Amino acid sequence: MSQQEHWEDIYRRKSTDQVSWYRPHLELSLKFIENARLSRDAAIIDVGGGASTFVDDLIAQGYSDITVLDISATAITSAKNRLGASADLIQWVVGDITLVEVLEHRYAFWHDRAVFHFLRDAEARRRYIAAVRRGLRPHGHILVATFGPEGPERCSGLDIVRYSAEGLHAEFGDLFTKVASKTEIHTTPWGAEQEFVYCYFRMAG
């Protein structure tokens, strides 16, 4: 089964609020966005956004240039159905971020909650970071959240890579300055606790 087939199967079998990473609102991500002091027309991409409600909250806060990218067409269809007419305000991309060619210097803020830790292959991580370097504007912002050192070793039937803040920064390299990091204990819909590490970087000019 390919990566895409795997995630299509997950989203066909489970509703949005039944997946382990579901939160009604991504409060910590929204706080990092707020602290970045972006203009409301700044371009934001949510990588792996799928059926997440993060896009709903960005719309509610007045952001007008939002892209949601996910490997699962089913997840994106779910988000579109939930948003109704507001879905027309969003640019939707179905694809694997390690393979999709993003537009050069397109985005002011890159958001990823729980995609990067699935990239166990070093070449896949290299392609991901190359996409960030291409897609972000000079001095652009990036927020990446992964399972922390005490987090689960598997998610949705797949092995993952756990990161400390320092380990995550080391993956991205000197082109990115680590501005802040935060640990969050996420509670799944069935009550289990998972450690997430959020790292906020700025890319060089």
Report the alpha-carbon distance of residue 34 to residue 189 in Å, rounded: 26
Other C-beta atoms lying within 10 Å of the C-beta of residue 197: 24
Contacts of 130 (CB under 8 A, 6+ apart): none
pLDDT of residue 19: 86
Task: Give the count of domains, the chain.
Answer: 1
Residue-level pLDDT at 125: 98
Q: Which residues of the chain have pLDDT under 70?
A: none
C-alpha span between 55 and 63 (Å, rounded): 9
How far is residue 90's CA from residue 15's CA, in Å, rounded to a whole number? Answer: 21
DSSP SS3 for 18: helix
Structural domain of residue 198, as residue ranges? 3-203
> Is residue 149 within 8 Å of residue 162, measured between CB atoms?
yes
Cα(138)–Cα(33) distance, rounded to whole angstroms? 17
Task: Look up tokens 């070449």; give the residue.
Answer: 123
Provide the CATH number for the domain around residue 77.
3.40.50.150
pTM of the model as a whole:
0.95
